[in-house]
Chains A and B, each alone.
Chain A
């Protein structure tokens, strides 16, 4: 949670709060300024210990907590973690003007979609992720399901399958991409649309954490989601063929063969299959950018990677930087 102690002190100084540049109308900006300046807007590093505020996608919550705690132990930094759905976190930055020092999401897609270039100019891919089918001991067909016939089990009419809303969460349209890739892979015509239909609106959710809750409560038999989420919640899951699970960077071209059109109220977007990666950045207007960079540097270092791997996150040995004006502190780490 953010520190709100400084609110009264920092109300009027619009010019010193970078985030206000992104706001549209001045009147609203004034209202938001009082929210945004809840933390000290002073970007200069203090002689005292760092404060690092991190927005984390829900499926990364547990590994990130571990990494933050480890970082805090080593440097004495004060760390604050806020979890949420990827899109919602991004909106907090772009719409509400609440900017963290580091934002880390389980899907790199959100960065080019929403954050770059206005809220961030670069981001770094630091771990892999892939789609799995997660379930519990109570799920129907749990005893028989395997990597080869999962689509048969999910097609059964008595089985309840949940997935995320593709309009709201990357994992939602990635599920649809998975279905399309599966149709080609298993050579079952019509499989994608059949699987898609197996989740009626009632069983769709805005974010993955809700799906997990429903699965654990016995309302759902299967959910399609990231491996990181399944591991984080100690769910049983089926590992899918790499050709379809969007997890292997080497198969980027194969994945790109599948595409989905997602129609929203105001626009329609076409997404192509691409390997899923965790990504993070220190956004523009972060209250403690140097501290944020320090933490990110730690996360990307072998020590940080070890912590992530200990929590079932497949960290990349060499992180991949995307974008320009990457801070020098992180230069040494990228390819």
Chain B
């Protein structure tokens, strides 16, 4: 009897510990955002009408982040598929390579992109032929966003695809599908929820990027650069509204996308 009571007591302490830890982390994450929204939310939203520089920055941020995400989904999903189906060690090696951009400090990433795609580089010269410049342009913004965020998408997409039982594709192939057709008709819809979640993560990451973007493209300004600009030039009070409005406006598509994901799980390995 005493042993059970002790056991229950220990269990309660452990459960309390888990809950406390969770609450602490949530508080740590939520507090700065709450402060930001309180300090900057109202002035920010009020400013939106008159402040066309702010509107332009928000629009540019949304545009470039969306383009970067769409490009990544287009190019990264096949890559994620190949990685999900790849044998070791090739899969692990490429996977590790893909994680590298995540390790690089963002300003350093911007410099690396500048060296690789700037006008003085072979790639940059080729781009110039096409009329594309990386510095001071939307192209540079999209490139920087892609560099820092695409690895997140590919990792998450790879996981989502790996969770789909490979045998579904085998069955589809015996029913006459080529490998690509089988992947498209079977694996893609079954991994769809996970792919969408990965795209959301990528988009959010692209929206918030600063260090890599500012090296390549200072003008035109995305919201993160504008808020830094206003902080430097005018002070905290001027910078907070920009940041707060960005958070508020970005919440809308995020919430919409997350709610789309709700629903029964598909594609988990067959019972």
Residues of A within 8 A of B (CB): 28, 31, 85, 87-88, 91, 94-96, 138, 165, 167-168, 200-206, 210, 213-214, 217-219, 264-266
Contacts and interface: CB of A to CB of B under 8 A. Distances in A.
- Mostly, the B contact residues are helix
B176 interface: no
B114 A217 contact: yes
Listed residue (A95, A138, A266) with the most chain B CB atoms within 10 angstroms of its CB: A95
A91 B219 CA distance: 22
A294 B132 CA distance: 54
Contacts of B215: 210, 213
Given A96-B236, A204-B218, A266-B238, 20 more contacts: A85-B232, A88-B231, A88-B232, A91-B236, A94-B235, A95-B231, A165-B218, A167-B233, A168-B233, A202-B219, A206-B218, A206-B229, A210-B218, A213-B215, A214-B135, A217-B111, A217-B118, A218-B119, A218-B120, A265-B53
18 contacts: A28-B39, A31-B35, A87-B233, A96-B236, A165-B229, A167-B233, A168-B232, A200-B219, A202-B133, A202-B220, A210-B214, A213-B114, A217-B111, A218-B119, A218-B120, A218-B121, A264-B233, A265-B234
Interface residues of B, number: 31
Interface in B83-116: 111, 114-115
A217 B51 CA distance: 35
B217 interface: yes
Which 8 pairs across A and B sit closest by C-beta, in order of nearness?
Answer: A202-B136, A218-B120, A201-B219, A95-B236, A168-B233, A217-B118, A88-B232, A217-B114
Contacts of A91: 231-232, 235-236
Interface in B230-263: 230-236, 238
Contacts of A88: 231-232
Contacts of A219: 114, 118-120, 135
B120 A204 contact: no
B214 A95 contact: no
A214 B39 contact: no
B232 A202 contact: no
Contacts of A205: 218
Interface in B1-55: 35, 39, 51, 53
Which residue, B121, B215, B218, B229, has most C-beta atoms of chain A within 10 A? B218
